Structure 1
Amino acid sequence: MDVKSAFMSGVQGYQNAASSVKSATRAINQPESSSLTANLVQLKQAELTGQASVRAIKAADEMLGTVIDIRV
């Protein structure tokens, strides 16, 4: 996997996590239509996905920095 695709995977994962948070919070604001527990679980999953995505972005950034250092 190259640095660009690793970075883009991290960004996409973070965007998916943000979308999941938005969906769960909308559902929580309309409790008659959904389960509070399920939405809280969805929020926690989105949090963990977001954290993992940020770590992937940081790792790609570090790899890019290393590649630049090696080539200079």
Structure 2
Amino acid sequence: DYNFNSKKQQAILLRISRIQDNYLKIIDLELFKHFKLLNVEFQIFLLRWIRCVYTREYSIQNAMFLWDNIFLE
């Protein structure tokens, strides 16, 4: 259902925006500014970072299980 998926995507983007603008800006202002300077698309960076972290720590099967549960909401 397009409307349901659209709402889920909006919720994810809102959370990502909150992480970037609230948490990253407070915790590491220099990195926040660097991302802005380079026009880094934070949602893509964050997704790649999450994938990288979990595939280094877990088997691919367990990582996929974790991703499913993280992005299920």
Q: Shared fold (TM-score greater than 0.5)?
A: no
What TM bracket, shorter-length normalisation?
0.3 to 0.5
Query: TM-score, length-normalised on structure 1?
Result: 0.39
Bigger relative CO (Cα 8 Å, ≥ 6 apart): 1
Query: TM-score, length-normalised on structure 2?
Result: 0.39
